[in-house]
Chains A and B, each alone.
Chain A
Amino acid sequence: MTFGKYLGTYIGLLLLTGLTFGLSFVSVGGWEWPLALGIALVKAGLVAAFFMHLVEMSAAHRLAGAAAAVLLAILILLAVADVATRPEEELGPAIHTAPFERDHAARTGRGE
């Protein structure tokens, strides 16, 4: 790694930050959140590869880093797929933020 590479990584991160920032002013419907997370993933990759020197490390190190990312991606994708594909009646009428939910509904007459 050279000084220039660190600076280049930083500029790349700033550009992607600007891109996500700009996207928050545009309406892209349901793709907004996955898109923003995708850009964040690229930024995280840049930080891990260059700032954390993953590019110059052994395969064992890269495997440890990649394992965390892949396992987490599987966990999130399956959780989202579960919630998104279940019929409405199985999920119930609203989010339950137990134990607050019950008190809240009692006090305000809403929330359910």
Chain B
Amino acid sequence: MAEPVEHAAHFESAERQGQAATLGMWVFLASEVLFFGALFVIYAAYRTREPRAFAEAVAENTFWWGSGNTLVLLTSSLFIALSVHMLRSSRARAACWLVGATVFLGMLFLGIKSYEYVEHFRHGIYPGGQGQWFADQPRAAAMAAFWTLYYLMTGLHALHVIIGVLLLSVIGWCVARRRVTRLAPQALENGAMYWHLVDIVWLFLWPCFYLTNGGA
């Protein structure tokens, strides 16, 4: 491993370049937090206004599938963190397999999420509170608010998972082709950071939409 470490001309050293890349990623992730945060504010305001209707709506959700998905994402987060660890200790092959496992779990998450959406549609629960199911609810407006937020927030999150899966697939390929190595691990490190943020967002979506059911 004696190859020279290349860095762009406007950086003093490869180390400086690495630090700048990581800081840039943190600033990007902070902006993502505020982006999702605005939606959580809407959720918080509605939930404060209609706590009982929201708890009843949560009790209607696909509790076991959603909770299973939490385990899937947490485990994928461990895998991608270990992948960075492996690459840093020059075990590129192991890093590659771990990226592959993360991508697989990401796709499993999307599969389960799609199944949940199909289940909701089968029950007649659509975004925007359209249809007979909502008409039969005693608190139709609050229910419509809950389920519209559910589709919007989990849908936006699923979009991030799709982007993460594509991103990590490319990065995994680059690790396999030795374009991302121990000496230039930035791409994998930043991809992993993005994946962790996607995991963190789900950690908040899970209690908001699946767990807080009033102890039902």
Contacts and interface: CB of A to CB of B under 8 A. Distances in A.
Interface of A: 1, 3, 6-7, 9-10, 13-14, 17, 20-21, 23-28, 30, 32-33, 36-37, 39-40, 43-44, 47-48, 50-52, 57-58, 60-61, 64-65, 67-69, 71-72, 75-76, 79-80, 82-84, 91, 94-97, 100-101, 104-105, 107-108, 110-112
A33 B212 contact: yes
A108 B131 CA distance: 10
B58 to A, nearest CB: 9
9 contacts: A26-B215, A36-B207, A58-B19, A65-B29, A94-B141, A95-B142, A100-B148, A101-B144, A108-B134
Contacts of A110: 135, 140
Given A75-B41, A83-B45, A6 B81 contact: yes
Nearest to B140: A111
Q: How large is the interface on B (under 10, 10 to 19, 20 to 34, 35 or more residues)?
A: 35 or more
Interface of B is mostly: helix
B204 A40 contact: yes
Contacts of A71: 34, 37
A83 B48 contact: yes
A97 B144 contact: yes
Contact of A21 (B30, B38, B80, B211): B211
Contact of A76 (B44, B135, B144, B193): B44
Contacts, number: 166
Interface in B8-65: 19, 22-23, 26-27, 29-31, 33-34, 37-38, 40-41, 44-51, 55, 63
A61 B41 contact: no
A52 B28 CA distance: 14
A112 B148 CA distance: 18
A104 B134 contact: yes
B90 interface: no
Nearest to A84: B48
Contacts of B46: 95
Contact of A40 (B33, B142, B206): B206
A101 B12 CA distance: 59
Given A61-B22, A100-B129, A95 B34 contact: no
Contacts of A61: 22-23, 26
Nearest to B215: A27
Given A26-B215, A64-B23, A68-B33, A97 B49 contact: no
